[in-house]
Amino acid sequence: MAEIKVRDLRKEFGVGDDKVVALEGVNLDISGHVFVSIVGASGCGKSTLLNILSGIETPTHGDVQISQDGKPAAKGYVFQSARLLPWRTVMDNLLFVQKDRSEETRARCQHYLDMVQLGDKGKKYPGELSGGMQQRVGIARAFSTEPDVLFMDEPFSHLDAITARTLRAELQNMWQETRKTIIFVTHDVGEAVELSNRILVFAKGGRMADDLAVPLPFPREVADPEVAVAKANVFRTFESIGALAVS
């Protein structure tokens, strides 16, 4: 199982009077089949933490270790937009990030397209798909590389509410089937509660204010009464730290 260890993490941007501290004193342990959401107001360091964990950014101070069975873990990333290559078909976009184009690899890619309800779109080009469909392709592409840890940076933030709700349901199914470790950044508390079994609450200044368990059975929907209660509990955490600039 994947294991993430973060010790005394600090991240600064700029120098001198222009220095900004994005993360400060973050300590964290994550392991196993977990879906962990990171929530907080804009500018609290959510995406910076995700980028450091995924290897896009380097820390100013501290240590980050991500392993699978004692070896460096394979990582996947889903961005806010799908970032598909417009001149390649849907299937070719998935194959582009694979180590080979064997029949086994193609079958795996097809499996994940089926899981996001796009099994018949492999020969289409991105421009022929809606925004929600393109994001589905991006999610299928990330899962198709079979990472040990999957990082997701607000992947549904630019979608309409109905499409986002459908994709959240599909993501729940994929996570439960693949048993991956998922680290998910969102500013939407309801989304975090619907998807996660653990929520990390970040405050201004890049400090982790709380680490909350969400012990509710899956599948979940944002309209479930239990989800609404859990969402209220997260908001109480934001009240206690004086930060309610979240949706």
Nearest to 183 by CA among 194, 173, 170, 197: 197
Predicted confidence (pLDDT) per residue in 221-240, tens digit: 878 888 889 889 888 887 88
Predicted confidence (pLDDT) per residue in 128-140, tens digit: 999 999 999 999 9
Q: Which domains does the chain have, with CATH numbers?
A: 1-73+193-247 (3.40.50.300)
Predicted confidence (pLDDT) per residue in 3-15, tens digit: 999 999 999 998 8
